[in-house]
Amino acid sequence: VLFLTDPDIFSMTWLHFLSVSITVWLTLLFVFTIVPAVLGVSIGIRRLYLTTLLKIFEWATLRMEMEAKEKNQQLYKPYSSGIIVKEPPLSLQQGIQELRGSASCLHSEPEFEMADIFYFCRRGVESIVDDEVTKRFSAQELETWNLLTRSHYNFRHISLRLTVLWGLGVLIRYGILLPLRVTLAATGISLILVLTTLVGFLPSRELRFFLTEKVHVMCYRICVRSLTAMITYHNRENKPKNGGICVANHTTPIDVIILANDGCYSLIGQAHRGLLGMVQRAMVKSSPHIWFDRSEVKDRHLVAKRLSDHVADKTKQPILIFPEGTCINNTSVMMFKKGSFEIGCTVYPVAIKYDPLFGDAFWNSSKFGMVNYLLRMMSSWAIVCSVWYLPPMNREEGEDAVQFANRVKAAIAAQGGLVDLIWDGGLKRAKVKDAFKEEQQKLYSKVLVDTSR
């Protein structure tokens, strides 16, 4: 009675309980997460967690199908996310010859025929029906519900059991996992700010580079655990080496953390303000990262010179570059910008493939801001992905930068099980360049000239 009636005793007891809870929380966090991250070991909690989740998803999907069958409902079945093998399209000349009848029916003089219009109309309709560009900037469909409304909004209403299971998942994700992950992320970012600044004051260049690598890997391991990420690395003998450029397909900003968890890289990008700018300034004090001002980013010659100077020094870490220039939904690889392939150094391709079952890592920057996106990542179940280090590649004799970029892109697509597309990821926000239209006009003109011979 005294505990309930005396406000001083009540407040002191509540504060004591709160302080004990925070102490226990931070102690468990330090022992089971931060210490293993610093030592680079895993005690198997994440793997057990993912195995349990997978069994729950399978049960939920089975239960959902049974409930729908009892109610004579038909569930929405998305198309398989795998690659559909299609017949290669006819070339422009073959398509026009097919419409005109046969090659023997072509006139001796190059001239336009009305039937030629239908070829371009048909290709236009095919592009609209099967748009290879737009669908690369939306989330993948799942065949198994992962208890997230962002994947299938109405499935939680099918039965009471599924509703209860979904509600329990919300409590776990937002009440336990989200605070834990925010604490880990804040710890990792704080350590990067403090430790890289301190290391930057060391006079010895060799010691500074050595400690920088240890500090970065340790901090990135903590950040990886803030996403409950389970990463499988393949072919580690092909890991990028100093004096080279590492290129990878781009799905999300956390691609940097995924790769830096297994090695240290120099980063290149635009200088920012705010918290991100503070992190950039702290990192550059201890490691040779390349940050450009907004006015310098469009200066291709300046960027190329900075890259060349960096790779010429074999003591510097490999540069990590995402040549697509934008985030793709991890079903394909789009056109690589040729800038990083003009340097003339060894290129180390890396393929990254995410499993969307536990959480979709794709960042749709036109729909979600950075803070909103990170909140969605930290409130997902987990991030699961595979990373393949491909053998190093060099520019062959007689090969230009565009051909080299396409060869590297094809290797990454083949290894990651991704669709190799020729389109520029910049079409996400821009219109088709006039060069593409002119190319089709040139091909058609060439067909007319060739048929006259």
The answer to whether 181 and 215 have CB atoms below 8 angstroms apart is no
pLDDT value of residue 81: 39
**Residue 75 belongs to a domain:** no
**Percent of the chain surpassing pLDDT 90:** 13
The H or E element containing residue 125 is helix 115-129
> How many domains is the chain partitioned into structurally?
1
Q: CA gyration radius for the chain? A: 27
In whole angstroms, what separates CA 355 from the centre of its chain? Answer: 11
**Residue 47 belongs to a domain:** no
pLDDT value of residue 194: 87
**CA-to-CA separations, 253 to 64, 112, 189, 294, 418, in angstroms, rounded:** 34, 49, 15, 19, 19
pLDDT value of residue 85: 40
Average pLDDT in the 225-254 region? 91
Q: What is the CATH number of the domain that holds 369?
A: 3.40.1130
Q: Can you give the pTM of this predicted structure?
A: 0.76
**Residue 272 belongs to a domain:** yes
Residue 130, phi then psi, degrees to nearest 5? -120, 75
The model's pLDDT over 237-247, given as tens digits with 9 standing for 90+, comes to 999 998 889 99
**CA-to-CA separations, 47 to 44, 50, 54, 150, 437, in angstroms, rounded:** 5, 5, 11, 24, 50
- Nearest Cα neighbor of 46 from 224, 235, 259 is 224
Query: 414-431 burial, b for 16+ CB within 10 Å, e for fewer?
Result: ebbebeebeebbbbbeee
In this prediction, residue 106 has a pLDDT band, given cuts at 50, 70 and 90, of very low
Lateral strand order in the sheet of 229-234: 229-234, 383-389, 347-355, 245-248, 319-321, 266-270, 290-292
The H or E element containing residue 160 is helix 160-172
**Residue 92 belongs to a domain:** no
- Nearest Cα neighbor of 211 from 225, 197, 223, 226 is 197
The answer to whether 418 and 332 have CB atoms below 8 angstroms apart is yes
- Nearest Cα neighbor of 245 from 217, 267, 269 is 267
Which residues are within 8 A (CB) of 131 and not within 5 positions of it... i.e. 6 or more apart? none
**Residue 103 belongs to a domain:** no
The answer to whether 396 and 344 have CB atoms below 8 angstroms apart is no
End-to-end CA distance of the chain: 106
Is 158 a residue whose pLDDT tops 90? no
Residue 4, phi then psi, degrees to nearest 5? -85, -25
The H or E element containing residue 139 is none
Q: Give the span between the Cα atoms of 87 and 75, in whole angstroms.
A: 30
What the block records as the tokens of 59 is: 């049960």
Is 1 a residue whose pLDDT tops 70? no
CB atoms inside a 10 Å sphere around CB 59 = 12
Query: 100-135 burial, b for 16+ CB within 10 Å, e for fewer?
Result: beeeeebeeeeeeeeebeebeeeeeeeeeeeeebee
Lowest mean pLDDT among 65-79, 268-282, 294-308: 65-79
Average pLDDT in the 334-343 region? 86
**Residue 449 belongs to a domain:** no
In whole angstroms, what separates CA 6 from the centre of its chain? Answer: 56
Which residues are within 8 A (CB) of 145 and not within 5 positions of it... i.e. 6 or more apart? 57, 60, 61, 64, 151, 152, 155
In this prediction, residue 17 has a pLDDT band, given cuts at 50, 70 and 90, of confident
Lowest mean pLDDT among 17-26, 74-83, 167-176, 368-377: 74-83
**Residue 10 belongs to a domain:** no
Collapsing DSSP to helix, strand or coil, 379 comes out as: coil
Domain span holding position 166:
160-422
**Residue 345 belongs to a domain:** yes
The H or E element containing residue 98 is helix 92-100
The model's pLDDT over 375-394, given as tens digits with 9 standing for 90+, comes to 888 988 899 999 999 999 99
pLDDT value of residue 76: 46
CB atoms inside a 10 Å sphere around CB 82 = 8
Q: Give the span between the Cα atoms of 359 and 154, in whole angstroms.
A: 18
- Nearest Cα neighbor of 243 from 346, 340, 382 is 346
Highest mean pLDDT among 109-113, 208-212, 246-250, 263-267: 246-250
Lowest mean pLDDT among 23-37, 216-230, 257-271, 356-370: 23-37
Average pLDDT in the 43-70 region? 78
Average pLDDT in the 128-145 region? 62
pLDDT value of residue 294: 57
The model's pLDDT over 196-217, given as tens digits with 9 standing for 90+, comes to 888 888 888 788 888 888 888 8
